[in-house]
Structure 1
Amino acid sequence: MTSSSAPSAPRPGFYSAGHLPPEDSVGYLMRKVMSSIRTQADAQLSTHDLTYAQWLPLFKISLSANTTVASLARDLETDPAAMTRALDRLEAKGLVVRERSTTDRRVVQLALTPEGQAVADKVPPVLADVLNTHLSDFTHDEWQLLLRLLRRMLVNGEALRQPRSTDAD
């Protein structure tokens, strides 16, 4: 009996359980870079009395006209309770309003107030500055290569989530 698909090529062995130093771990380095980006953005946005847990949801809401509490929590990879607490603080500051859906009472839509939009508009220039600083000695080609490599890693990771098909005979 023959299989309808060719066997997959062996995966390269960049890491092993016995040798995994953090300074060479892609995951560790990406986490450290993200922490640095977040810390620098936080420092600049703190002048607007915003923390990471507040400016990131504001920014994400500003990008979409149809944001719900549940979709925002999923997008930011946080639990709904933590998202609700962050939104409570943003609402208390007069930056966000929540409106219950008229068709499904379980759905809560989010919108920025005019003041919330003004604050959200301050995020992109800060993020651009922070990201450009982190990439300051990269060439344009290196930046594009980094983006391509990270996208490939995302595709590879997404493939791990897909159920593997088995040939039934």
Structure 2
Amino acid sequence: MTDDFVQNIIARTVSSSQAGKSMSSSPIVRNAKIAEEASIPITTPEIAFGLILRLVRLVEAGMQSIDPGHGLSGSQLWALWLVSAQPGLRIGELAEAMFIHPSTASNLLDKLEAKDLIFRQRQCADSRVICLHLTAKGNALVSAIPGPLQGRLRDALLSLPRGELICLCKAIGNVLQKMSRG
């Protein structure tokens, strides 16, 4: 993330949160000026919220930009991409990758199966294990649709230095933990 990008976010956050108020008296502006003079990275909950919201909106926009003529939701497309990337994926593994409950994944798969996009196959060694595969129609659809924005997000995360990625994971984990308590 470039300094210009962060400064732009800060400026938009400050202007949107302080509309109609004197900018020089804003605690955000005062703190930003103090931090800038002391060469301290500028961080406030408002700025963090703005950055997270922008990330969420980028992912949503990427999912919405896919041709709705296919009649599939973003979650259904994501499931298709995951199964195409790993044929033989188990339902529990799909649910875990999508951060959803296995019963929700099963319901989602029912809809994809009804559209003849996937099929479930029992494993010979253990008939309780069900593996997921794309049908020819599912393969054709996945080939015709651009990859998910989640792939671009993953690529961006992979390009982060290890220390930044560790800090990001810890911070997001802490936020999620605090949110799940309330």
Q: Same fold (TM over 0.5)?
A: yes
**Counterparts in 2 of 1:13-162, with a 5 A limit?**
20-21=45-46, 24-25=47-48, 29-124=51-146, 127=149, 147-148=159-160, 152-156=163-167, 157=169
Alignment RMSD (CA, Å): 3.7
Report the Cα offset of residue 92 of structure 1. 0.3
Partners of 2:157 and 2:122 in 1: CA distance: 44
1:126 to 1:71, Cα distance in 2 relative to 1, 3 A: closer
TM-score normalised to structure 1 length: 0.62
TM-score normalised to structure 2 length: 0.58
Report the Cα offset of residue 38 of structure 1. 2.5
> Which structure has more RCO (C-alpha within 8 Å, separation ≥ 6)?
1
| Conservation of the 8 A alpha-carbon contact between 2:118 and 2:138 | yes
SS of 1:44's equivalent in the other structure is: coil
Moved more, 79-88 or 151-160: 151-160
Output the amino acid matched with 1:58.
L
SS of 1:97's equivalent in the other structure is: strand
Report the Cα offset of residue 62 of structure 1. 0.7
SS of 1:99's equivalent in the other structure is: strand
Report the Cα offset of residue 146 of structure 1. 9.2
| Conservation of the 8 A alpha-carbon contact between 2:122 and 2:130 | yes
Gaps of 5+ in 2: 1-39, 174-182
Partners of 2:122 and 2:41 in 1: CA distance: 51
Partners of 2:166 and 2:77 in 1: CA distance: 28
Gaps of 5+ in 1: 1-11, 132-142, 162-169
Report the Cα offset of residue 50 of structure 1. 1.4
